[in-house]
Amino acid sequence: MSSKIEELKKLYEQALLGGGKEAIDAQHSRGKLTARERVELLVDSESFLELDIFVRHRTTEFGMDKRWVWGDAVVTGLARIGGRRAVVIAQDFTFMGGSLGEMHAAKIVKAMQTAISQGIPIVFLNDSGGARIQEGVDSLRGYGDIFYMNVMASGIVPQIAAIMGPCAGGAVYSPALMDFVVMVKKTSFMFITGPRVVRAAIGEVVDEQQLGGPEVHAAKSGQADFIVEDDKEAIAVIKKLLSYLPSNNMEDPPVVRTGDLPDRDIPELDGVVPEDPNAAYDMYKIVDSVLDVGSFLEVKTQWARNAITGFGRLDGRSVCIIANQPNYLAGVLDIDSSDKIAEHVRFCDAFNIPIVTFVDVPGYMPGTKQEHGGIIRHGAKVLYAYSEATVPKLTIIVRKAYGGAYIAMGSKHLGADFVAAWPTAEIAVMGPEGAAEIIWRRELEAVKDPQERAKLLAKFTEEYRSKFANPYVAASRGYVDSVIQPRNTRRVLTKALEILSTKREVRIWVPPKKHGLTPI
């Protein structure tokens, strides 16, 4: 008996070494932690229940019968993260570059199945050279199985991917199918085809980081939700993100009391909107001061900066934040910001997180670039996402809310439960200057002197502004539930949120359908 136990201990020792000491040193010299070190940092102490540590690949081709490790280059298991259960998957680059073969994939799929059946989040730490070349089509099948599970898990349990090394070729589609992607600076990249193929195919010379490094995905493609300095920070972000989320779509998000007073007045908000209606200001000031102190976690900080998306807490309750940013492109809705907003609304709706929207939007972005790029289709996603969402929807109209963009940004007409406007709100079909030029075109054309004409336009603009560009017309119809002093915004929102916390799914009756067809 004791010899068997000794043997088992030895096997564990071997397994824990992954690809061996040399490969571990090489991993460290690249500035990366090993799969096991990452898991240890991520999970609560002693909580990890590893699965399939003795799985091995079964390929004999290309001398693979002599080349194997216990666990087949991926660590999988169940654990607690911040007290909550989760499934953890960590690819081990120290054996064959963490490449994915049949059994490596089977372990991942099994872990994902467990997450779905248990209703617990999936955290997938990617660090892999992609499909294990020696295992050929079995590797491809493995990817197919993982993608399928990603789709099955979608909307049931939160899925978070961290890219902590290479992630290339079709492998990128697992993180792409997940809800959030964290990328580590310098050591990670994601692309469909690497620099060598790019050069051969189209003659473009580019390196890995320029092609698919974290900075590129954070600012240009919008693929990365968070970029971080190193592995440790990646783990910290994952833990923080999870703290806002429920474990599955049947649960409410956790309540984390911060001690911040729910009815705290914020006097400085009374002066945040500039006198000049066309002057920019920083929406972060409003978002940060209304939420529980220090609770704002922004998602996609660098991409489509005319929209702000993230999570926060109001009196401890998780909320989803959507806002226009007047400081960047005047907060206009364009292709990218529409995608950013629609995606976040859909995630929050799927996971029962109430949506709080701060509106200051001059409209949809004009011009051929946007029209030809499909602003109609992309803009429609925002309408679809808000209309479809059944979680409590609370909207604060801070300043501009014009035209189709007014409707899109969490308006009453798309099912908002509570809409409040600041006295600075301008809710109208279009901005006063443009509207005055259309309504009083004849009168303006009759005046030939340009200076006189400008004066007249200013007068008409003012007339339009006082008649239409205010919150009271909308309030008189009940499209706005309340016009509030900015300083009371937090108090009003926490109260409304509390009342709406028992909201049940309410929709107008529609015949049963398989699923709607969201514009994509």
136 contacts ligand HXC (rule: CB under 6 A): no
**Contacts with ligand HXC, 142-161, as mask; x by CB under 6 A:** -x------------------
CA angle 153, 113, 33 (to 5 degrees): 90
**CB of 56 vs ligand HXC, minimal distance in Å:** 16
Which listed residue (34, 76, 99, 243) binds ligand HXC by CB under 6 A?
99
Cα(32)–Cα(28) distance, integer angstroms = 5
Residues 511 and 369: their CA atoms lie apart, in Å, by 38
Give catalytic status of residue 31 as yes or no. no
Q: Which CB atom, from 142 or from 392, has the smaller least distance to ligand HXC?
A: 142
Collapsed DSSP state (helix, strand, coil) of residue 491: helix
Is 211 a binding residue for ligand HXC by CB under 6 A? The answer is no
Q: Which is nearer to ligand HXC, 126 or 306 (CB)?
A: 126
Contact 334, 365 (CB under 8 A): yes
**The one catalytic residue among 119, 136, 316, 404:** 404
Task: Extract the tokens encoding 8.
Answer: 């088992």
Least distance in angstroms from the C-beta of 130 to ligand HXC? 3
Task: Kindly state whether residue 190 participates in binding ligand HXC, applying the rule CB under 6 A.
Answer: no
Task: For residue 72, give the 3-state DSSP assignment.
Answer: coil
Sign of CA dihedral 346, 167, 242, 105: positive
State yes or no: residue 97 binds ligand HXC (CB under 6 A): yes
Residues 325, 330, 336, 342, CA torsion sign = positive
Which residue among 77, 121, 130, 471 contacts ligand HXC (CB under 6 A)? 130
CB 109 to ligand HXC: min, Å: 14
Q: Which is nearer to ligand HXC, 129 or 246 (CB)?
A: 129
CB closer to ligand HXC out of 130 and 326: 130
Residue whose CB is less far from ligand HXC, 144 or 271? 144
Q: Which of 18, 71, 77, 129 is the binder for ligand HXC (CB under 6 A)?
A: 129
Q: How far apart are CA 243 and CA 256, in angstroms?
A: 8
Using the minimum distance from each CB to ligand HXC, give the nearer residue, 79 or 131. 131
Distances (CA, A) of 474 to 79, 418, 435, 451: 51, 13, 17, 34
Our CB check for ligand HXC shows the closer of 130 and 222 to be 130
Measured from the CB atom, the residue of 31 and 274 that comes closer to ligand HXC is 31
Is there a contact between 389 and 355 (Cβ–Cβ < 8 Å)? yes
Minimal distance in Å, beta carbon 209 to ligand HXC?
Answer: 12
Least distance in angstroms from the C-beta of 165 to ligand HXC: 8
- Give the contacts of 482 (CB within 8 A, at least 6 positions apart): 418, 419, 420, 421, 475, 492
Residue (98 or 310) nearer to ligand HXC, CB: 98
Query: Judging by beta carbons within 10 Å of its beta carbon (0-12, 13-18, 19+), is residue 26 exposed, middle or buried?
Result: middle
Q: How far is the CB of 97 from ligand HXC (least distance, A)?
A: 3
Q: Which of 81, 88, 131, 375 binds ligand HXC (CB under 6 A)?
A: 131
As a whole number of angstroms, the distance between CA 132 and CA 64 comes to 11
Q: Helix, strand, coil: what percent of the chain each, to 5?
A: 45, 20, 35
User: Least separation, in Å, of the C-beta of 101 and ligand HXC?
Assistant: 8
Say how far apart CA 61 and CA 66 lie, in whole Å. 10
Residue 200 binds ligand HXC, judged by CB under 6 A: no
Pairwise CA distance, residues 177 & 170, whole Å: 12
CB of 166 to ligand HXC, least distance (A): 4
> How many residues of this chain interact with ligand HXC, rule: CB under 6 A?
15
- Which residue in the set 53, 140, 330, 444 belongs to the binding site for ligand HXC (CB under 6 A)? 140
297 forms part of the interface with ligand HXC (CB under 6 A): no
> Which listed residue (170, 373, 415, 434) is catalytic?
170
List beta partners, residue 397.
Answer: 359, 421
Name which of residues 213 to 252 contact ligand HXC (CB under 6 A): none
Q: Which of 171, 380, 405, 475 is catalytic?
A: 405
Residue 254 as a binder of ligand HXC (CB under 6 A): the answer is no
Sequence-distant (≥ 6) Cβ neighbours of residue 163 within 8 angstroms? 126, 127, 175, 181, 182, 183, 184, 188, 189, 190, 214, 224
Integer Cα distance of 89 and 12 in angstroms: 18
User: How many Cβ atoms sit within 10 Å of the Cβ of residue 97?
Assistant: 19
Any catalytic annotation for residue 404? yes
111, burial (CB in 10 Å: exposed 0-12, middle 13-18, buried 19+): buried
Q: Spell out, one character per residue from 159 to 178, where the chain touches ligand HXC: x when CB under 6 A holds, - when not.
A: -------x-xxxx-------
Judged by CB under 6 A, the stretch of 132-140, 464-472, 480-488, 507-515 that binds ligand HXC is 132-140
- 170 belongs to the catalytic site: yes
Active site residue 169: yes
Active-site annotation, residues: 169-170, 404-405
- Which positions touch ligand HXC (CB under 6 A)? 96-97, 99, 129-133, 140, 143, 166, 168-171
